[in-house]
Amino acid sequence: MSNESPTVVKGEGPVTLSPSGSTPSQGSPLSPTSSSKGPELPEELLQAGWARCWSKRENRPYYFNRFTNQSLWEMPVLGQHDVISDPLGLNAAPVEGGECNLGNGQRKRKISEEVEAEANSFKRAKSQSTAPSTPSTPNTPGGKPWSSAPEDKQTQSTPSVAPGPSPAPYRPAVVYWDLEIPTNAVIQQRPPDPQLPPHPEVELQRAQLVTKLRQHYVELCYQREGIEPPRESFNRWLLERKVIDKGGDPLLPSDCDPVISPPMFREVMNDIPIRLSRIKYKEEARRQLFRYAEAAKKMIDSRNATPHSKKVVKWNAEDTMNWLRRDHSASKEDYMDRLEHLRKQCGPHVTEVAKDSVEGICSKIYYISVVYSRRLKDAHTALMKEYNLSEGCEPPEVQDRLVYCYPARLACPSPPQPRVELHFENEMACLRYKGEMVKINRGHFSKLELLYRYSCIDDARFEKFLSRVWCLIKRYQVMFGRGVNEGTGLQVALPELVFEVLHKQFGVSFECFASPLNCYFKQFCSAFPDTDGFFGSRGPFLSFRPASGSFEANPPFSEELMDAMVTHFEDLLDSSTEPLSFIVFVPEWRKPATPALTRMEGSRFLRHQLTVSAYEHEYRSGSQHICKKEEMYYKAVHGTVVFFLQNSAGFSKWEPSAERLAEFMSAYQSSSSRPGPAPNPWNLMIKHRQVQRRGRRSHMVVSFTDPVVSMDLLRAVLQPSFNDDIIAVFRKYQQFLDKAAENVKENVGDDVQTDHLITDTCRNLLEQAKQMFPEAESKGARPGVEANIKRSRQTDDDSTHRGSPIPKKRKGRPCAPAATFDRPLTYSAPSKPKASEPVRRDGPKWDPNRLNDGSTFVLGSRANKALGMGGTRGRIYIKHSGLFKYAADAQDKHWLAERQHMRATGGKMAYLLIEEDIQDLSRSDDYKECPDLRMEELKPFSVPIWMVEKMQRAMEAQRSEAL
C-alpha cells in the first residue's frame, strides 16, 4: 500500500498556510486515485484537503490529504490535533497507547499492518520531556521511493505482488548526533522565507560562477601585487559579506555597505610585500629577513611613492642587507627582532603605496559578485516562469503567538526537480547531476534522510530528496572551496560527549551555528534557509529571535560575524523575561584581542567564563561527512574560551554551578583522551634528546641535536618500512624481469644465470633511482659526528638489509662477473656524461634574456614521455644534464595546479623545461629516428611574468655555479 501512498511522518513545524506541496502528476502509479464509491466526505473535511480515494491493490478505500500528504484507512475526525490549525500540537489532548498517531486520533496507513516494524527501527530511547511529540518512525516501509527507478514503480503497482517486509535501513557504526532530543526554544510565529526554492540547474550555475569569482581573485592578487591570495581569505570574505548583505542571493553578496571588505583588505595587505611564514630555524629567519628587505625596496621603486617614503624604505632595506653580509653569527632571535624593526619602519610606507591597488582588488571582486548574483536571479526567475510558478508569492497571514521553533519554510512552491543519479562506492554515497558529482559517507546520508523525514512537509514520497541533497552538498562545497582541508576550520563542531553534557546539565537543545552535515541536534540555525530548511534548519541565526530556551553557539571564526553575534545575544537577553541561555565557544585570540572576546568579558549577562588550554581539547572536523574516521577529530591549536551568557530567569534555571562545570570539563577531557589509531611508522617523530652514558671517570653526555644525526635516527626507524615498500615494487615488476631473463637465456645460451642477471638489474634500478637525490656539498663534518653516524649505521645494518630483494653478499666469496648482452639500437642513445666531465652551461641557451612573457614551457615528466623515455622517471635529466630545468616552488606548483597543468599532490617535485630546447632535441640525430617519439605529449604553456623572472634568476645562478 505504501507504493501508492507511503506512510507519512508528521513534520515538526507548522504547515505553510499557502500549500507548497507538489501535487502528484497524473498517470503516475504513485498518485492516489479519487473514488466515487461510498458516501461523500463532509464539507469540513473537503475544505481541510481530504479526499476519498481507492486502493487498487488492497481493493478498499482510503483517505488522502492533498495539503499534508497524509493517508488514512479510516475517515478523518475533526476536533482533535489538526496540523492546519494547530501545527505543533500544543492544544491537542494526549493520546493513550504507544502507537504513533498523526494528531487527529487516526491510525496511519501501513503495509499489511507494518510487518516487522520493531526490527527496522534503530532510534535511541527518547528523553523525558514535555516538548511536543516528535517523529518516531525513521524508516519508510516498503523500500525507499527516492531510489526507485521508473520501471520499479510500474512493478510495484501490480496488484498481484504481495508486499514483503521492509528492508533494514543503513545503520552507521558510529553516530555523531542525537536527533531524538526535542527542542525547548520558543519563538514568535513567523512568515515563510521569500527566497526561491533550490534547483540543481541553478545551483550548478552558481557553483560555476563562484569558482570563476575565486579565479578572478587569484589572478588579481598575482597581477597587481605578485602574491598568492591569503589562504581561505575568500571564504572569510563570504562570511563577512553575508553579515551585512541585503541582497537576494543566498551565497554571493550583492548589496553591501561598505563595498570594500575590511577583512579582505587587511589580509591581503598583511602579505605585502611578501607573506611571512612561521619560522622554526635560524636559516629560515635569515632568508625571510633578506626577502622582505629585497621585496620592500623593489616595491617602493616600482610604485608612485613620495620621495620621503622612498628614502626611508631604501635606507632601511640597504642597512638590513649590509648587516646580513657583515654578521654571520646572529641567532634566530636577532633575525626576528631585526625583521620586526624593519616591518615597523617600512610597513606604513609600503601600505600607503599599495592601498589603492588592494582596494581595487576588493571592490573589483565585489562588483563582479553583484553581476553574477543578477545573472543567477534572472536564471532562477526564468526557471520558475517555465513551470508557471510566480516568483513573488504572497505570504500567508501569521498569528501573533509563541510556538516551539520549527524549520524554515519557503513561500514559493518548489518546481519539479530533475533526475539525480545515486550510487554507492564502499562507504560513500555518490550523487551525480550533469557530470557533477558530490560525495557523502553513508552514515551522514542516512542522517540527512532522517532530518528530511522530520522536517520536510511538501515531499512525503521523497521524489525531490536526491536533488535537494545534491543542492545542499554542492552549496557548502562551493562556499568553502574544493582544496585539501579548505574550509574545514570554519565549520568545526564540538565532540558529541560535550553536547551530551550540555543537554544534560544545561538543557541545551539548539545549535546557533551549524548545518545539516555537522549538526548534533535536529534543531539548529544555518546559513542557507533555502537548501537547509528541508533538513531542519531554522534559518540564519542573526535573523532568529527566540523568546526562551538554552542554546549552544560555536560560530565560524570570523571576527565580524562573532561581533555581530554578540550584539544579537545582548539584544535577545535584554528583551526577554523568559529563561534564556547562550553557551558560547570562541577562540582565545589575545594578540590582539578580538572585539567579540572583549565585549563578552565585559557583558552584564556574563555568568561564568572558563578557558580550555590549547592541545588539551579537540573539535570534530568540518568535513566530517566525507573524511575518514581517523581524521574525524583534531586537536585545537589555540585555546577556547567558553562564556555563559544568561538573563536572570535563565541563570535561575541553568546556573553554571561547580558540579555542572566539573562534569562539563570532564567531558572535554574524556573526548580529547580517546584512543587513537594504531601506531604508524610514518607518524613517528624523533625528538632531539640527550642520552646519558656511564663512564669510568665521569658521566659522558652525547648530544643528539645535530641535524645529520637526527635524520639518520629517523632513517633507522623508517628503513624497515622502506624495505617493505621496495619489495612490493619489485614484486609488481617481477614477472617482467623473469620473462626478460628467460628470453635472454633462450637467445644467448644456457650459460646465463638468470638469478644473477635479475639481481644486477635490480641493483642498477636502485642506482639509477639515486640520481634523483643528488648529494649536497659537504661542509666539513665534525669527526665526532661522523663517528656517531658510523656507529648508528653499524647498529642498524640488520634493519637496513632486512627484507631487501638483493641477496646479501658473503665475505671472502668472489662475485660472479655480470654478463652483458648488448643489442644494436635503432637510434643512437646519447651517452651519459662522466662525473669528472664538467657540465657546460654557457652559450645562447643559457642566456636569461631569452626568457620572456612569450616563452613556452613544458613539464619535465611530459618531456620525458615525448622523447620516448616514459618508462624511467627523470631519465631526461641524466642524459641531458646541460638542459636548463627550473624546480617549481610551492607558489609555482599552486599556479600550475590551478590551471590543470599538474596535479595538486603534496610534496611532489615539478621541473619546468623550455619547449624550444625539447623541440631541438627531437630534431637532433639522437632522436629523429626514435620510434617512441611522441611530441604531442608536450602540451606547452605560458607562465606569468613573475614566474619568468624567477626562472631568469635561477638560470643565472645555475650558470654562475658551472663557471
Q: How deeply is 98 buried, as exposed, middle or buried, from its count of CB atoms within 10 A (0-12, 13-18, 19+)?
A: exposed
In this predicted structure, the answer to whether residue 528 has a pLDDT above a threshold of 70 is yes
What confidence score (pLDDT) does residue 422 get? 94
Largest CA distance in the chain: 112
Cβ pair 14, 190 in contact under 8 A? no
Locate 921 and state its grid cell: 632535441
Average pLDDT over residues 372-389: 93
Top mean pLDDT of 11-15, 533-537, 897-901 is at: 533-537
Can you tell me which residue has the cell 628470453? Answer: 743
- Residue of higher predicted confidence among 534 and 815: 534
Question: Can you give the pTM of this predicted structure?
Answer: 0.58
What is the per-residue pLDDT for 871?
53
Mean pLDDT of 678-695: 36
Tell me which of 55-59, 141-145, 259-263, 491-495 is least confident. 141-145
More confident residue, 911 or 534: 534
Closest C-alpha among 593, 589, 644, 583 to residue 614: 589
* C-alpha span between 701 and 713 (Å, rounded): 17
Mean pLDDT of 231-260: 93
Q: Which residues pair with 438 in a beta bridge?
A: 431
Is the pLDDT at 234 greater than 80? The verdict is yes
Instruction: Name the residue among 552, 557, 577, 550 with its Cα closest to residue 643.
Output: 552
When mean pLDDT is compared across 456-470, 563-577, 766-780, 884-898, the lowest value belongs to: 766-780
Report the percentage of the chain scoring pLDDT > 70. 72
Interval 729-779: pLDDT, tens? 888 888 888 888 888 877 777 667 777 788 888 888 887 887 777 765 444
Residues 6 or more apart whose CB falls under 8 angstroms from that of 365 comprise 213, 216, 217, 220, 237, 264
CA 572, CA 187: separation in Å to the nearest integer? 11
More confident residue, 473 or 699: 473
Contact 896, 855 (CB under 8 A): no
Compute, in degrees rounded to 10, the torsion defined by CA atoms 773, 778, 781, 786.
40
Q: 509, 523 in Cβ contact below 8 A?
A: yes
H-only helix segments in 481-556 = 496-506, 529-532
Question: Where residue 562 falls among pLDDT bands split at 50, 70, 90?
Answer: very high
Give the mean pLDDT of 236-246: 93
Strands 580-587, 546-553: pairing kind: parallel
Q: Is the pLDDT of residue 551 over 50?
A: yes
CA–chain centroid gap for 861, Å, is 29
Q: What is the pLDDT at residue 399?
A: 84
**Sign (positive/negative) of CA torsion 515, 478, 355, 353?**
positive
Mean pLDDT of 11-35: 37
pLDDT beyond 70 at 904: no
Half-sphere exposure (CA, 13 Å, Cβ side) for 500?
A: 13
For residue 297, the model assigns a pLDDT of 92
644, 607 Cβ separation under 8 angstroms: yes
Predicted confidence (pLDDT) per residue in 833-845, tens digit? 444 455 667 778 8
- Write down the H helix ranges in 796-904: 797-801, 860-866, 875-879, 890-898
Quick one: pLDDT at residue 45?
80
DSSP 8-state code for residue 410: B
The pLDDT tens digits of the residues spanning 913-946 come to 998 888 888 888 878 777 778 888 888 888 988 8
Which span out of 254-263, 609-618, 896-905 was modeled with the highest average pLDDT? 254-263
Residue with cell 584581542: 593
Q: 708: how many CB neighbours lie within 10 A of its CB?
A: 13
Output the nine-digit C-alpha cell for 790. 658510523
Residue with grid cell 463532509, as numbered in its chain: 42
- pLDDT score of 872: 58
Q: Which residues are within 8 A (CB) of 286 and not within 5 positions of it... i.e. 6 or more apart?
A: 324, 330, 335
Q: Using alpha carbons, select from 67, 66, 109 the residue that is nearest to residue 85.
A: 67
Which stretch of 65-79, 433-447, 939-953 has the lowest confidence by average pLDDT?
Answer: 65-79
Say what the pLDDT of residue 791 is: 42
- Residues 6 or more apart in contact with residue 733 via CB below 8 angstroms: none
Q: Residue 634 and residue 740: Cα distance in Å, rounded?
A: 50
For residue 851 the three cell numbers come to: 626568457
What is the per-residue pLDDT for 911? Answer: 86
Q: Which residue has the cell 638542459?
A: 883
Distance between CA 859 and CA 886 in Å, rounded? 10
Q: What is the dihedral of CA 75, 81, 82, 87, to 10 degrees?
A: -150
Is the confidence at residue 514, as pLDDT, over 90? yes
d(CA 646, CA 843): 77
More confident position, 632 or 7: 632
pLDDT score of 616: 85
Task: Work out the average pLDDT over 86-105.
Answer: 41
Average pLDDT in the chain: 76
pLDDT at residue 478 in the model: 92
**Picking from 171-185, 330-344, 664-678, which range would have the lowest pLDDT averaged per residue?**
664-678
Structure-model confidence comparison of residues 259 and 112, the more confident one: 259
Burial class, 652, CB count within 10 angstroms (exposed 0-12 / middle 13-18 / buried 19+): exposed
**Which amino acid is it at 781?**
A
Show the beta-strand stretches assigned E in 273-427.
402-404, 421-425
For the chain, how many residues are written? 963
282-291, 318-327, 863-872: segment of lowest average pLDDT: 863-872
pLDDT at 141: 32
**Residues 938-949: pLDDT tens digits?**
888 889 888 888
Q: Which residues are 188's β-sheet partners?
A: 402
Residue 48 contacts by C-beta under 8 Å, 6 or more apart in sequence?
65, 67, 76, 78, 82, 84
At residue 797, the pLDDT reads: 44
pLDDT for residue 291 is more than 60? yes
Residue 359 backbone phi and psi in degrees, to 5 = -65, -35
Give the rounded distance of the alpha carbon of 523 from its chain centre: 24
pLDDT at position 793 over 60: no
Which of 86-100, 206-220, 252-266, 638-652 bottoms out in mean pLDDT, i.e. has the lowest?
A: 86-100
Looking at residue 328, the DSSP 8-state letter turns out to be: -
Q: Is 50 exceeded by the pLDDT of residue 171?
A: yes
Backbone angles phi, psi at 548, to 5 degrees: -155, 165
Which value, in Å, is the radius of gyration of the alpha carbons in the chain? 35
Q: Is the pLDDT of residue 105 over 60?
A: no
Percent of the chain with pLDDT over 90: 40
User: Which element (helix H / strand E) includes 951?
Assistant: helix 945-962
Which of 318-327, 688-697, 849-858 bottoms out in mean pLDDT, i.e. has the lowest?
688-697
Quote the pLDDT of residue 153. Answer: 36
CA distance 375 to 94: 52
pLDDT band, residue 247 (cuts 50/70/90): very high
Half-sphere exposure of 49 (CA within 13 A, CB side): 19
CA distance 883 to 830: 13
pLDDT at 611: 92
With H, G, I as helix, E, B as strand and everything else as coil, classify residue 305.
Answer: coil
Task: Return the pLDDT at 13.
Answer: 43
Residues 580 and 522: their CA atoms lie apart, in Å, by 19
Name residue 58's amino acid. E
pLDDT over threshold 50, residue 689: no
795 CB burial (10 A radius; 0-12, 13-18, 19+):
exposed
**Least confident range of 579-593, 633-647, 864-878:** 864-878
Task: Provide the sign of the torsion angle of the four alpha carbons 395, 399, 402, 403, taken in this order.
Answer: negative
pLDDT at residue number 320: 93
The letter for the amino acid at 213 is: L
The more confidently predicted of residues 358 and 891 is: 358
Question: Is it the case that residue 400 has pLDDT exceeding 70?
Answer: yes
Q: Please give the pLDDT value at position 684.
A: 36
For residue 591, pLDDT over 70 is answered with yes
pLDDT tens readout for residues 598-613: 999 999 999 999 999 8
pLDDT higher for 871 or 635? 635
647 CB neighbour count, 10 Å cutoff: 22
Q: Is the pLDDT of residue 790 over 60?
A: no
Highest mean pLDDT among 54-68, 153-167, 439-453, 871-885: 439-453
